[in-house]
Chain A
Protein backbone atom coordinates (compact mmCIF):
# COMPACT_ATOMS: atom_id res chain seq x y z
CA UNK A 1 0.00 0.00 0.00
CA UNK A 2 1.98 2.96 -1.30
CA UNK A 3 1.66 6.12 0.74
CA UNK A 4 3.50 9.30 1.61
CA UNK A 5 5.15 9.19 5.01
CA UNK A 6 6.13 12.13 7.18
CA UNK A 7 8.19 12.43 10.32
CA UNK A 8 7.82 13.53 13.00
CA UNK A 9 4.05 13.45 13.38
CA UNK A 10 4.14 15.95 16.21
CA UNK A 11 6.81 18.43 17.20
CA UNK A 12 6.81 20.87 20.09
CA UNK A 13 9.73 23.24 20.26
CA UNK A 14 10.72 26.57 21.66
CA UNK A 15 11.03 29.77 19.73
CA UNK A 16 14.43 30.11 18.11
CA UNK A 17 15.07 26.38 17.73
CA UNK A 18 15.68 24.66 14.43
CA UNK A 19 12.98 22.33 13.16
CA UNK A 20 13.42 19.74 10.42
CA UNK A 21 10.48 17.89 8.91
CA UNK A 22 10.95 14.91 6.62
CA UNK A 23 8.86 13.38 3.89
CA UNK A 24 9.18 10.18 1.93
CA UNK A 25 7.19 10.44 -1.31
CA UNK A 26 5.53 7.50 -2.97
CA UNK A 27 8.11 5.46 -4.84
CA UNK A 28 8.16 6.46 -8.49
CA UNK A 29 6.58 9.86 -8.00
CA UNK A 30 8.64 12.70 -9.43
CA UNK A 31 6.90 15.69 -7.83
CA UNK A 32 6.79 16.75 -4.21
CA UNK A 33 4.79 19.53 -2.63
CA UNK A 34 4.98 21.10 0.82
CA UNK A 35 1.83 22.70 2.23
CA UNK A 36 1.02 24.43 5.47
CA UNK A 37 -2.42 24.39 7.06
CA UNK A 38 -3.63 26.84 9.69
CA UNK A 39 -7.07 27.73 10.92
CA UNK A 40 -6.71 31.29 9.71
CA UNK A 41 -5.15 30.73 6.29
CA UNK A 42 -6.29 27.25 5.40
CA UNK A 43 -3.95 25.32 3.10
CA UNK A 44 -1.07 27.15 1.44
CA UNK A 45 1.58 25.88 -0.94
CA UNK A 46 5.08 26.45 0.38
CA UNK A 47 7.27 24.68 -2.19
CA UNK A 48 7.13 22.43 -5.22
CA UNK A 49 9.82 20.08 -6.52
CA UNK A 50 10.00 18.16 -9.74
CA UNK A 51 12.69 15.57 -10.29
CA UNK A 52 14.29 16.87 -7.07
CA UNK A 53 14.68 20.41 -8.43
CA UNK A 54 12.78 23.24 -6.74
CA UNK A 55 10.42 24.81 -9.26
CA UNK A 56 8.55 27.12 -6.96
CA UNK A 57 9.22 28.10 -3.40
CA UNK A 58 7.58 31.50 -3.55
CA UNK A 59 5.21 30.56 -0.73
CA UNK A 60 8.02 30.13 1.77
CA UNK A 61 9.44 32.83 4.01
CA UNK A 62 12.93 32.77 2.57
CA UNK A 63 14.73 34.13 5.56
CA UNK A 64 13.89 31.19 7.79
CA UNK A 65 12.49 28.36 5.69
CA UNK A 66 14.38 26.07 3.38
CA UNK A 67 13.30 22.99 1.44
CA UNK A 68 15.50 20.36 -0.19
CA UNK A 69 15.40 16.93 -1.78
CA UNK A 70 18.71 15.22 -1.01
CA UNK A 71 17.53 12.24 -3.01
CA UNK A 72 14.40 10.96 -4.71
CA UNK A 73 13.17 9.25 -1.56
CA UNK A 74 13.54 12.15 0.87
CA UNK A 75 12.27 15.72 1.02
CA UNK A 76 13.05 18.02 3.93
CA UNK A 77 11.57 21.25 5.18
CA UNK A 78 13.64 23.19 7.67
CA UNK A 79 12.76 26.20 9.78
CA UNK A 80 15.58 28.12 11.44
CA UNK A 81 14.92 29.93 13.68
CA UNK A 82 11.36 28.88 14.42
CA UNK A 83 8.73 31.38 15.62
CA UNK A 84 5.33 30.92 17.28
CA UNK A 85 3.60 32.03 14.06
CA UNK A 86 5.07 28.96 12.35
CA UNK A 87 2.77 26.75 14.42
CA UNK A 88 0.69 24.81 11.92
CA UNK A 89 0.28 21.41 10.32
CA UNK A 90 2.77 20.85 7.52
CA UNK A 91 1.76 18.44 4.79
CA UNK A 92 3.87 16.80 2.15
CA UNK A 93 2.26 15.50 -1.03
CA UNK A 94 3.64 13.65 -4.01
CA UNK A 95 2.48 12.93 -7.52
CA UNK A 96 3.58 11.87 -10.95
CA UNK A 97 4.04 14.58 -13.55
CA UNK A 98 4.11 13.64 -17.20
CA UNK A 99 5.03 16.38 -19.59
CA UNK A 100 5.16 20.07 -18.83
CA UNK A 101 2.17 20.56 -16.59
CA UNK A 102 0.96 18.63 -13.60
CA UNK A 103 -2.40 17.04 -14.29
CA UNK A 104 -2.48 14.26 -11.84
CA UNK A 105 -3.56 13.48 -8.33
CA UNK A 106 -1.61 14.66 -5.37
CA UNK A 107 -1.32 12.15 -2.54
CA UNK A 108 -0.88 13.58 0.90
CA UNK A 109 1.05 12.42 3.92
CA UNK A 110 -0.43 12.49 7.44
CA UNK A 111 1.22 15.81 8.26
CA UNK A 112 3.55 17.12 10.95
CA UNK A 113 1.83 19.13 13.65
CA UNK A 114 4.31 21.82 14.73
CA UNK A 115 3.88 23.86 17.89
CA UNK A 116 6.38 26.61 18.58
CA UNK A 117 6.20 27.98 22.12
Chain B
Protein backbone atom coordinates (compact mmCIF):
# COMPACT_ATOMS: atom_id res chain seq x y z
CA UNK B 1 0.00 0.00 0.00
CA UNK B 2 1.40 3.34 -1.06
CA UNK B 3 2.22 5.74 1.76
CA UNK B 4 3.38 9.31 1.34
CA UNK B 5 5.29 11.22 3.99
CA UNK B 6 6.20 14.89 4.06
CA UNK B 7 8.96 16.31 6.21
CA UNK B 8 9.01 18.72 7.94
CA UNK B 9 5.40 19.14 9.05
CA UNK B 10 6.01 22.84 9.56
CA UNK B 11 8.73 25.27 8.57
CA UNK B 12 9.28 28.93 9.38
CA UNK B 13 12.02 30.86 7.60
CA UNK B 14 12.89 34.52 6.99
CA UNK B 15 12.01 36.10 3.70
CA UNK B 16 14.60 35.69 0.96
CA UNK B 17 15.86 32.26 1.95
CA UNK B 18 15.95 29.31 -0.38
CA UNK B 19 14.25 26.26 1.03
CA UNK B 20 13.52 22.62 0.33
CA UNK B 21 10.41 20.63 1.14
CA UNK B 22 10.61 16.86 1.14
CA UNK B 23 8.20 14.15 0.08
CA UNK B 24 8.83 10.41 0.25
CA UNK B 25 6.76 7.49 -0.95
CA UNK B 26 6.98 3.77 -0.32
CA UNK B 27 6.06 2.27 -3.70
CA UNK B 28 8.10 3.40 -6.70
CA UNK B 29 5.45 2.17 -9.18
CA UNK B 30 3.90 5.58 -9.80
CA UNK B 31 2.65 7.40 -12.87
CA UNK B 32 3.47 10.86 -11.64
CA UNK B 33 3.82 13.10 -8.63
CA UNK B 34 2.08 16.41 -8.17
CA UNK B 35 2.86 19.28 -5.80
CA UNK B 36 0.00 21.45 -4.60
CA UNK B 37 -0.37 24.58 -2.56
CA UNK B 38 -3.28 25.15 -0.18
CA UNK B 39 -4.00 28.49 1.43
CA UNK B 40 -6.03 28.54 4.68
CA UNK B 41 -9.68 27.88 3.99
CA UNK B 42 -9.05 27.63 0.29
CA UNK B 43 -8.79 24.99 -2.38
CA UNK B 44 -5.77 23.26 -3.86
CA UNK B 45 -3.64 24.88 -6.51
CA UNK B 46 -1.50 22.63 -8.66
CA UNK B 47 2.10 23.84 -8.73
CA UNK B 48 4.05 21.22 -10.62
CA UNK B 49 3.45 17.80 -12.12
CA UNK B 50 6.36 15.44 -12.68
CA UNK B 51 5.77 12.37 -14.80
CA UNK B 52 7.50 9.16 -13.73
CA UNK B 53 9.90 9.42 -16.67
CA UNK B 54 11.01 12.92 -15.70
CA UNK B 55 13.63 14.02 -13.21
CA UNK B 56 12.50 17.56 -12.56
CA UNK B 57 10.11 20.33 -13.45
CA UNK B 58 10.49 24.07 -13.04
CA UNK B 59 8.01 26.91 -12.80
CA UNK B 60 9.30 30.33 -11.90
CA UNK B 61 10.97 30.15 -8.49
CA UNK B 62 9.82 26.58 -7.96
CA UNK B 63 11.74 23.47 -8.91
CA UNK B 64 10.54 19.96 -8.18
CA UNK B 65 12.70 16.87 -8.53
CA UNK B 66 11.77 13.21 -8.59
CA UNK B 67 13.91 10.20 -7.75
CA UNK B 68 11.57 7.31 -8.29
CA UNK B 69 14.04 4.60 -7.35
CA UNK B 70 14.61 6.07 -3.91
CA UNK B 71 10.99 7.13 -3.49
CA UNK B 72 11.70 10.81 -3.01
CA UNK B 73 10.71 14.18 -4.37
CA UNK B 74 11.77 17.63 -3.31
CA UNK B 75 10.23 21.02 -3.89
CA UNK B 76 12.78 23.81 -3.99
CA UNK B 77 11.58 27.37 -3.48
CA UNK B 78 14.08 30.08 -4.36
CA UNK B 79 14.13 33.53 -2.79
CA UNK B 80 11.10 32.90 -0.60
CA UNK B 81 8.49 35.62 -0.15
CA UNK B 82 5.74 36.15 2.47
CA UNK B 83 3.20 35.29 -0.24
CA UNK B 84 4.67 31.80 -0.38
CA UNK B 85 3.23 31.11 3.07
CA UNK B 86 0.81 28.20 2.70
CA UNK B 87 0.58 24.45 3.16
CA UNK B 88 2.36 22.46 0.47
CA UNK B 89 1.10 18.98 -0.33
CA UNK B 90 2.59 16.32 -2.51
CA UNK B 91 0.43 13.62 -4.07
CA UNK B 92 1.53 10.45 -5.79
CA UNK B 93 -0.50 9.12 -8.70
CA UNK B 94 -0.74 5.34 -8.61
CA UNK B 95 -3.03 4.81 -11.61
CA UNK B 96 -5.77 7.39 -11.15
CA UNK B 97 -5.81 7.68 -7.42
CA UNK B 98 -3.79 10.43 -5.76
CA UNK B 99 -2.23 9.33 -2.47
CA UNK B 100 -1.55 12.40 -0.37
CA UNK B 101 1.06 13.46 2.10
CA UNK B 102 -0.06 15.33 5.20
CA UNK B 103 1.57 18.53 3.99
CA UNK B 104 4.23 20.97 5.11
CA UNK B 105 2.97 24.22 6.59
CA UNK B 106 5.32 26.95 5.44
CA UNK B 107 5.57 30.39 7.04
CA UNK B 108 7.78 33.03 5.48
CA UNK B 109 8.54 35.83 7.92
CA UNK B 110 8.91 39.34 6.46
**Which residues in A have some Cβ–Cβ distance to B below 8 Å?**
31, 33, 42-43, 45, 48, 55-56, 91, 93, 97, 101-111, 113
Contacts and interface: CB of A to CB of B under 8 A. Distances in A.
Contact of A105 (B34, B41, B100, B103): B34
Interface of B: 31-32, 34, 36, 41-46, 49, 51, 89, 91, 93, 95-98, 100, 102-103
Contact of B43 (A56, A91, A103): A91
A103 B44 contact: no
A77 B51 CA distance: 30
8 contacts: A33-B96, A55-B96, A56-B97, A102-B93, A102-B96, A105-B34, A106-B98, A109-B43
Contacts of B32: 103
Contact of B96 (A56, A105, A109, A110): A56
Contacts of B49: 104-105
Contact of B100 (A42, A55, A104, A107): A42
Given A42-B100, A42-B102, A102-B96, A107 B46 contact: yes
B44 A91 contact: yes
B44 A108 contact: yes
Contacts of A109: 43
Contacts of B97: 45, 48, 56
A106 B46 contact: yes
A102 B100 contact: no
A17 B49 CA distance: 39
Nearest to A31: B96
A93 B96 CA distance: 12
A102 B44 contact: no
